[in-house]
Structure 1
């Protein structure tokens, strides 16, 4: 009787062995053309340091970007010291006040402080218009967040922000931007994904790929 009971159990265990072996295999790397596109003559967004760069091209008015923001922010906090995550507004018009606001935040050193709250103000609280926000409306938001509104307005109108707007436009065009949000890894790879989670998984794989390439003699 014992043997008759053991035989079916043994057969089930043998059938499960191939599945267990597959589960132990490392996940396949990203596939060019499906998971990412190689950017011809791609250039990094920032030359501030030599860390591996993950640049998110975003728009404050984009609800997909608003949905992505907390997930990306959490992912950013978990990155090792050799990875830098940058927020790059899609700045196709020099008069885009939302993009100019992002660069003004950067100039003032408050981008991390105000980035998430501005998404919230536009998409949830609706205290900032989702289109055609004026400088004064954005300055009111800034003031309510405890930041000097006059300095913010001056930064928005500065030549430095003018230059960043042009750089952001050039970066988006060179990257072959098709929509927001889009992740670009080290200026070389544009991530293609069907979900925010998949985009971050692919970005992580590309970061590992770039790290391995850099470590080669």
Structure 2
């Protein structure tokens, strides 16, 4: 990739974080107005994670799919087989990533990545659905979180994720950290700037020495993982969070969070059916 272009993307990515939301029908999603994207220089409001499956999902730039060809006559229309329930439309349901690569070697698995940010209100709303969905994924699927590192507090919390991963704390702290930022507001998220010590104090409640956690956040290993996540997000054409990417090849779009998961399920089935290389 042209280095100048990559640097430009790193500058622009913070402006695109957590801000690709469609406006749904009012009756279906009463919280839509609260979840609208803020201006680039305004803080993102803290929203409580929603339990409802009707929360609007961030969507990549919409492309209008080509209309289906009309059958020559009514008899032909009646004879035409119905579209498969899992049928997907490129450009509407997903974007195929040019020369896309998985985040980690597949090793016979189908990789599903959620690119997220702890400070992102939409990610906080998506998380309860992800929790339920992940438990039902087939055995051949490897689900991986990749924190977005758009700048400012995003960087701090991306490091926190990788430090918690290193110390074996993700399973115990992942949901609780969303809650601390967006519901309890004991951490600022994008409403301010939490220090490394602030974040380490949160993890200290789970049995780790806060000084050890702070040191791990600033370690070479965590910074290497952060750099890898940044570059992979750029190559994958990340436009906002949360985003689901399947096998490094397909970036899921969708109009609502349940729609995103429907599309991901269809892509997982498609990739699972491919013959092993």
For normalisation by structure 1, the TM-score amounts to 0.84
CA-based RMSD of the aligned residues comes to 2.0
What's the CA shift for 1:168? 0.6
What's the CA shift for 1:113? 1.5
Distance 1:112 1:35, change over 3 A: same
- Structure 1's unaligned 5+ residue stretches are 1-17
Which residue does 2:208 correspond to in 1? 147
Residues 1:101 and 2:150 are matched in the alignment = no
Q: Distance in 2 between matches of 1:119 and 1:185?
A: 24
How many residues align structurally? 195
What's the CA shift for 1:93? 3.7
Residues 1:92 and 2:153 are matched in the alignment = no
Q: Which has the larger radius of gyration?
A: 1
Q: Distance in 2 between matches of 1:101 and 1:50?
A: 29
Residues 1:121 and 2:180 are matched in the alignment = yes
Residues 1:52 and 2:110 are matched in the alignment = yes
For normalisation by structure 2, the TM-score amounts to 0.66
Query: 3-state SS of the aligned residue for 2:189?
Result: coil
CA contact (8 A) 2:86 2:266 kept: no
What's the CA shift for 1:92? 3.3
What's the CA shift for 1:75? 0.7
Distance 1:94 1:40, change over 3 A: farther
Which residue does 1:33 correspond to in 2? 91
Q: Distance in 1 between matches of 2:106 and 2:184?
A: 35
